[in-house]
A and B are shown apart, each in its own frame.
Chain A
Amino acid sequence: MRGLVASVAVLMLLVVNSQAGTIKGRVSFEGTAPPEKSMTEAMKSDPNCAALHSSGPEVMTEHYVVAEDGGLKWVFVSITEGLDGKEFDKAAEPVVLDQEGCVYKPHVFGIQVGQDLIVRNSDATLHNVHIIPGRDSKNREMNKGMPFKMDLPPIQFEHPEIPLRFKCDVHRWMFAYCNVVEHPFFATTNETGGFEIKDVPAGDYTLSFWHKKMKDHPVKVTVPAEGEVEANFTYTEEMIPRRGR
């Protein structure tokens, strides 16, 4: 009997997977990106942080990390429409947000509602993790000091929010953007601007591209029962708001 149940389960899984596709794509930037700012200067306000970068390269902001061929890093891509009525299991693997060298790593990331977030301090200096939900958000504000090399107990967010801002009240240059979504279909672009969202059930969706300085932009995609669909998006210099330049 057990064998039969297992076989049916495996079969169902295969059927489900066989009806799921992958969204693959690339985000790029056209034009001249504003210059990044140096964080090394600001870090001098805390000798512990300055000491961590005394011999390395200058630490810069990463607002517009554009590859030679125009690929844009740190864009959060997620499905925003088309999944209504569907429920998803919480991801088992925790997301780790590290504070290393007085910088959040990664500073843009996604997480599922209810998924564990482990905030880590790898620096032997005081950081203060201040989670600041938006004005209409139902997520809780949180403010935790991390004076030593340590992990906070796992944190979960109960409501979707893009973005949920993290900042360190001790170090004014430290920001991170946590994007909380209800489902597991999201990705953050890499150095080449590429991203990949796997195991998306076949159907029509709206895909959203979020960048911390430029506006969200929806794109319609149709995911096939098998194989891949490509979804590209290009930001242009004109999309940068004046104060973001």
Chain B
Amino acid sequence: MVASEHSNLSHSLPFWKRYVFSTDHKVIGIQYALTALVFLFIGFLLMMYMRWSIAFPGRPLPEWAAALLGSNSTSGIFGPEFYNQLGAMHGTIMIFLGVVPLAVGGFGNYVVPLQIGAPDMAFPKLNMVSYWSFLTGGVLMLFSFFIEGGAAKSGWTAYPPLAVLDADAGQTIWLIGMVFLITSSLLGAINFIVTIIQLRAPGLHWMRLPFFVWAQLVTAFILLLAFPPLEAAGILQLMDRLADTNFFMPSGLVVSGEIREAAGGGSPLLWQHLFWFLGHPEVYVLILPALGIVAEIIANNSRKPLWGYRSMVYSTLFLGFMSFVVWAHHMYLTGMGTVMNAFFQATTMIISIPSVIILSALIISLWGGSIRFTVPMLFAVAFLPMFGIGGLTGLPLGISTADIHLHDTYYVIGHFHYVVAPGVIFGLFGGIYYWFPKATGRRMSTILGHLHFWPTLICMNVIFMPMFIQGLAGVSRRLYDGGSAYAHAQPVLHWNGVISMAVWTMAIAQLPFVINLFGSLLFGRKVDDNPWESTTLEWTAPSPPPHGNFLELPSAYCGPYEYSQPGDESGFHPQDQPVEGSSA
């Protein structure tokens, strides 16, 4: 079917098939993105409540804030169990329902077929099923807040025995929700891999692929190979909870002063291995799409080809491979033994090399560029040091002797939030500002973009930098009172208030973004198909692209970042434009 036929087809579809149960990758991408943004908001809201408990333990919430919690608070105070629900669900929502669906489901779905010159994903119906499976999982997770006993409260890692012993149904629903989410990811991953391999435009050789596509391809492989063990583990834990099996429950366990009977006796550590076999590659599932977005924005706004494009691609492939052999650095304290610790220390140090290569290449790409400080570029440039801080502070955690002291402290929270929050989320924000004109034909407001970016950047650092100080002082994570019961935490306790104030301020700083996102849909300045003067194939499609994407399916004649080439007066050479001496 040619593109124009696709376009005609879309007009004949009824509303619910065109916008609700759509098989168009762009509609599915937008569905993913908007749903993920709602989940990100919810996950952030949970955190705002947590920060109240941490900063002002035992003090009643303001009346309006307590009203939202219903029977979860009495006289405005909520207990540690609800705090645990908030904590477990904050992590789950932010990672599995927010960042990954936005980065992969949203940007991946919307941008990848356009960037490779394809009319759609390879399996459009599978794509639709993937979204609805994701939504079902997400709704189930939220629904669990309203059942007796509330949502899961054994942490986002759901470690047994705690997760199995929790008598409330929230943990059961969490596990069922995860099965839906993982199924969604697997369907999506297969789709991305087949699409990128099979549906590339003529002439779009592997080394002509935009770096974002490479990032999505490696991400898809990681999802495909790392998630199944967790899906199996989730079902086994479900059996432990519902069918009295003991896959993860050891014999001789003393619970509340009494020995719990467990026939056979399983191993709680087995869960940790299965969880982190997904859990650590999942970090790269978060990072790689953001790196891809940042690479696109930096190349476009520095008006230079990406420095070391091939090195970045090979590093990404190596990173994807290595991400499967570092998982147990999350488990040094389980007593695996020094040999195992040494192995995982070594692999952890090795995996930092490709990360550094990619980050360095992005920094060097700025060198000598005619930099345009557009709003997406601000987020992309800010991503670099933020991600750098997150990455560098991870190194001590990869060394088992240092990890003994830092494990489960606020240092860890600071580290991975620098990677994910001012890191990945900045990349995603940049992506929204960057591809918004393609999706809507309108541009987002620059003024509101600045009002969004600068306070967010400041708040992110006020939030996460003091966590390193608290963590080095030994303050544990997951404390509903922020450590106020502990003598050793007293000297750094004052940071709790500062951090919480910054969190609430950052919430206000998101208002310009929300106004900008929806306001620009209606009132944003109309732009042509390629407002950023970009080179990659998505910008050759109309804005917004019709069903089938291109008026005529494009061919690629050159690399993805042909900016400022000698003799080229326009300053950029789109991939679909023939080049002398080059073939499609």
Contact = CB atoms under 8 A, between A and B. Distances in A.
Given A141-B167, A147-B480, A147-B481, A130 B79 contact: no
Given A148-B57, A151-B74, A152-B79, A143 B485 contact: no
Contact of B167 (A142, A153, A172): A142
Interface of A: 126, 130, 132, 140-153, 167, 169, 172
B256 A130 contact: yes
B81 interface: yes
Given A140-B148, A147-B79, A169-B256, 17 more contacts: A132-B256, A142-B167, A143-B81, A147-B57, A147-B58, A147-B80, A147-B485, A148-B58, A150-B58, A150-B75, A150-B79, A151-B74, A151-B75, A152-B74, A152-B79, A153-B74, A167-B256
B368 interface: no
A21 B24 CA distance: 77
B256 A146 contact: no
B71 interface: yes
B257 A172 contact: yes
Q: Please give me the 8 A-B residue pairs with the lowest Cβ-Cβ distance, nearest first.
A: A148-B58, A145-B80, A141-B167, A153-B71, A151-B74, A150-B77, A169-B256, A153-B74
Tier of interface size on chain B: 10 to 19
Interface string B50-89: 0000000110000000000001101101011100000000
24 contacts: A132-B256, A140-B148, A142-B167, A143-B81, A144-B79, A144-B81, A145-B80, A145-B81, A146-B79, A147-B57, A147-B58, A147-B79, A147-B480, A147-B481, A148-B57, A148-B58, A150-B74, A150-B75, A150-B79, A151-B75, A152-B74, A167-B257, A169-B256, A172-B257
Contacts of A144: 79, 81
A111 B75 CA distance: 24
A148 B485 CA distance: 11
A46 to B, nearest CB: 11
A227 to B, nearest CB: 44
Nearest to A152: B74
A148 B74 contact: no
Interface in B251-287: 256-257
Contacts of B256: 130, 132, 167, 169
Nearest to B481: A147
Interface of B: 57-58, 71-72, 74-75, 77, 79-81, 148-149, 167-168, 256-257, 480-481, 485
B396 to A, nearest CB: 32
A149 B76 CA distance: 12
Contacts of B168: 140
A132, A144, A147, A167, most chain B CB atoms within 10 A? A147
Contacts of B480: 145, 147
A145 B58 CA distance: 12
A90 to B, nearest CB: 18
A143 B149 CA distance: 10
A200 to B, nearest CB: 34
Given A144-B79, A144-B81, A146-B79, A126 B74 contact: no
Contacts of B167: 140-143
A151 B81 CA distance: 14
A55 to B, nearest CB: 24
Contacts of A142: 149, 167
Contacts of A167: 256-257
Contacts of A151: 74-75
Contacts of A150: 58, 74-75, 77, 79
A149 B77 CA distance: 10
B427 to A, nearest CB: 38
Contacts of B72: 153
Contacts of A169: 256-257
B323 to A, nearest CB: 37
Contact of B485 (A126, A140, A141, A152): A126
Q: Considering residues A143, A144, A146, A151, which has the most beta carbons from chain B within 10 angstroms of its beta carbon?
A: A143
Contacts of A132: 256
Contacts of A147: 57-58, 79-80, 480-481, 485
A146 B485 CA distance: 13
A169 B57 CA distance: 21
A149 B71 CA distance: 17
Contacts of B71: 153
B20 to A, nearest CB: 38
A147 B484 CA distance: 11
A143 B75 CA distance: 20
Nearest to B73: A153
A45 to B, nearest CB: 14
A153 to B, nearest CB: 5
Given A126-B485, A153-B71, A145 B79 contact: yes
Nearest to A48: B485
A210 B119 CA distance: 77
Contacts of A143: 81, 167
A213 B73 CA distance: 37
A153 B71 CA distance: 7
Nearest to A151: B74
Nearest to A169: B256
A146 B77 CA distance: 10
Nearest to B148: A140
Contacts of A145: 79-81, 480
Nearest to A153: B71
A223 B79 CA distance: 46
A43 B16 CA distance: 66
A151 B148 CA distance: 18
B165 to A, nearest CB: 9
B70 to A, nearest CB: 9
Nearest to B77: A150
Residue in B71, B72, B81 with the greatest tally of chain A CB atoms within 10 Å? B81
A140 B169 CA distance: 11
A145 B481 CA distance: 12
A167 B77 CA distance: 22
Nearest to B59: A148
Contacts of B149: 140, 142
A152 to B, nearest CB: 7
Nearest to B79: A145
A102 B564 CA distance: 76
Contacts of A126: 485
B27 to A, nearest CB: 43
Contacts of B485: 126, 147
B147 to A, nearest CB: 12
Contacts of B81: 143-145
A11 B481 CA distance: 58
Contacts of A130: 256
B521 to A, nearest CB: 42
B115 to A, nearest CB: 51
Contacts of A146: 79
B166 to A, nearest CB: 8
A98 to B, nearest CB: 15
A153 B57 CA distance: 18
B67 to A, nearest CB: 14
A149 B256 CA distance: 23
Contacts of B58: 147-150
Contacts of B257: 167, 169, 172
Contacts of A141: 167
Nearest to A141: B167
A144 B72 CA distance: 12
A143 B480 CA distance: 16
